[in-house]
Amino acid sequence: MCTPIPDLGGFPCSLLSVKLPWDKNKNNEGADAAGQDASSTPETATPDATEQKLPKGHTAPKGRPTPKRREVELERGVVGGQSLAPTDTYAQQRQKRKEFKASMTKEEFKAYKQKERDARVKRQRETQAAMDRGEDAYLMDRDKGEVRRFARDWVDSRRFLSNFVMPVAIALLVVMLIGNFNPSFAATSSMVAMVLMLGFLIEGITTGRRVNKAARTRFPGTTETGFGLGYYAYSRTIQPRKWRTPRARVEIGAEV
């Protein structure tokens, strides 16, 4: 039960319990300070907050040792800020190569040459594979274009007597060696070889005309027909099928 306090003029205690505006602010400040003290204690600190307190400039480990500067330079072909990129003259390239070799040990230069050789072989294989696939970006100028691609497919889909030009040439070399010991055999073989060569010539002329006719039918507005296209087609017929570049895309007997 509340009783008046004489020293305060008889005001009831219910009026004294009312919080004035400035008293509320003081109480809130005290509560905030207490909350901060409680959160700053080690017992209430969260593990995440502790883990996030990392020093300035901290980086996570890469999982591998950092390569040395000289190793990176040897990998890029640069030593002392000087690159091995081609210069204007061959003499300058050769001089820079000598300086580059002198800056390394014998083992380092040997390893660098091996890397160069491996990279060169890899590029050659990739280029050859792209040429075999018939990609225009890697083909020679004589092989580029739809008309030349059509001529290759036209040749690859047929059999020709000229496919045996290279085997016949090798046989003639053997016959020439045997002819020194057997003249009669050499004379007979020479007659056969002359007949085959005449057959190759006639087939070459007919092949050129046929492929030009087929190209004009397929590409009415083309200007690539003529002797050049005919010779291109015939030069492909005398190559063994497996040695042709680009590789044959169609089987023998296919419709082209």
Helix (H, G, I), strand (E, B) or coil at 83: strand
Buried b (16+ CB within 10 A) or exposed e, 222-244: eebbeeebbebbbebbbeeeeee
**Residue 70 in this model has a pLDDT that exceeds 60:** yes
Contact 155, 211 (CB under 8 A): yes
Residues 6+ apart with CB under 8 A from 104: 74, 79, 112
Where b means 16+ CB within 10 Å and e means fewer, 117-143 reads eeeeeeeeeeeeeebeebeeebbeeeb
| Residue where the block lists tokens 């009026």 | 15
Q: How much is the pLDDT for 61?
A: 64
C-alpha 81/C-alpha 114 separation (Å) is 22
Task: Give the chain's length.
Answer: 256
pTM attached to this predicted model? 0.58
Q: pLDDT confidence of 225, banded at 50, 70, 90?
A: confident
- For 5-35, the pLDDT digits (tens) are 454 455 455 444 555 555 555 555 554 544 4
Are the C-beta atoms of 230 and 154 separated by less than 8 Å? no
- Distance between CA 174 and CA 178 in Å, rounded? 6
pLDDT in tens, 142-188: 999 999 999 999 999 999 999 999 988 888 888 888 877 888 888 88
Q: Are 154 and 214 in contact (CB under 8 A)?
A: yes
Q: What is the predicted pLDDT for the residue at 104?
A: 84
Report which DSSP code applies to 116: H
